[in-house]
């Protein structure tokens, strides 16, 4: 069936209680370039800011039964569990299509790395905004963090073809601001992201 991946579509609001888990087949870091095999929803997770919930995901391929894939997800805090079974009838790619995807992935590897870095920076920006809001910071400190996060998002929106070093520079700047604010609130102790 090819290589499988999961990109949880976690709710963007502050306290999520469910996670949508689409299952993709493909080689690209961009899910738009991969094949959607199915999705399922894990509900009943403890309310938490985006990116904070800990969900264990397991991929099990049964090679003796025509490559049937079972994907399960379990919330660590509540124990809630859900799974989906994907078979070749669910729209899996042929061997030729898989080979084409592998070749295209090798060709576009550098672009995929930049795309992964952009997604990582977007996720980190949202996570840091939420953390700053919950950290007991003053209004001014929260506003500073929120403005910096919004500046990074605006920069990402206008620089779709930014190089990796530019993305990393913005990530380090955002990290430094959050570390400084968190260090103030934790009595000089550094904060682990």
Q: Which helix (H) or strand (E) holds 103?
A: helix 95-107
CATH code for the domain of 116: 1.20.1270.10
Average pLDDT over residues 175-191: 63
| Residues 6+ away with beta carbon under 8 Å from 121 | 152, 156, 167, 170, 171, 174
Encoded tokens for 124:
């980190």
pTM of the model: 0.52
Range of the domain at 79: 4-107
| 155 lies in some domain | yes
Same domain, 88 and 120: no
Mean pLDDT of the chain: 75
Same domain, 58 and 114: no
- 56 vs 126, residue with greater confidence: 56
| 191 lies in some domain | no
Select from 103, 104, 105, 93 the least CA-distant residue to 2: 93
Same domain, 49 and 143: no
Cα(170)–Cα(58) distance, integer angstroms: 33
pLDDT-based confidence at 99, cuts 50/70/90?
Answer: confident
Q: Which helix (H) or strand (E) holds 121?
A: helix 109-134
| 190 lies in some domain | no
Q: What per-residue confidence (pLDDT) applies to 51?
A: 66
Q: What per-residue confidence (pLDDT) applies to 29?
A: 74
| Total count of domains within the chain | 2
Span of 52-56, 138-142, 147-151 with lowest mean pLDDT: 138-142
* Listed residues 77, 107, 137: the one ending a domain: 107
Q: What per-residue confidence (pLDDT) applies to 164?
A: 80
Average pLDDT over residues 163-189: 73
Q: What per-residue confidence (pLDDT) applies to 20?
A: 86
| Positive or negative torsion for Cα 58, 121, 12, 159 | negative
CATH code for the domain of 60: 2.60.34.10
Same domain, 102 and 24: yes
Burial of 147: CB neighbours in 10 Å, binned 0-12, 13-18, 19+: exposed
| 192 lies in some domain | no
Same domain, 10 and 102: yes
Encoded tokens for 112:
């995929």
* Listed residues 86, 107, 128: the one ending a domain: 107
């Amino acid at each position: 069936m090819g290589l499988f991946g999961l990109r949880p579509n976690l709710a963007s609001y502050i306290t999520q209680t469910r996670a949508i888990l689409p299952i993709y087949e493909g080689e690209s870091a961009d899910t738009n370039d991969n094949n959607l095999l199915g999705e399922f929803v894990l509900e009943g997770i403890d309310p938490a800011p985006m990116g904070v919930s800990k969900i264990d995901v397991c991929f099990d391929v049964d090679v003796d039964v025509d490559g049937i894939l079972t994907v399960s997800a379990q919330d660590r805090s509540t124990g809630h569990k859900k799974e989906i079974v994907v078979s070749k009838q669910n729209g899996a790619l042929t061997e030729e299509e898989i080979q084409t995807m592998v070749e295209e992935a090798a060709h576009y590897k550098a672009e995929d790395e930049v795309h992964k870095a952009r997604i990582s920076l977007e996720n980190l920006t949202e996570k840091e905004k939420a953390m700053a809001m919950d950290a007991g910071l003053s209004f001014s400190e929260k506003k500073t963090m929120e403005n910096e996060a919004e500046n990074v998002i605006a920069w990402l929106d206008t620089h779709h073809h930014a190089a990796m070093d530019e993305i990393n520079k913005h990530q380090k700047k955002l990290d430094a601001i959050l570390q400084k604010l968190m260090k103030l609130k934790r009595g000089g102790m550094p904060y682990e992201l």
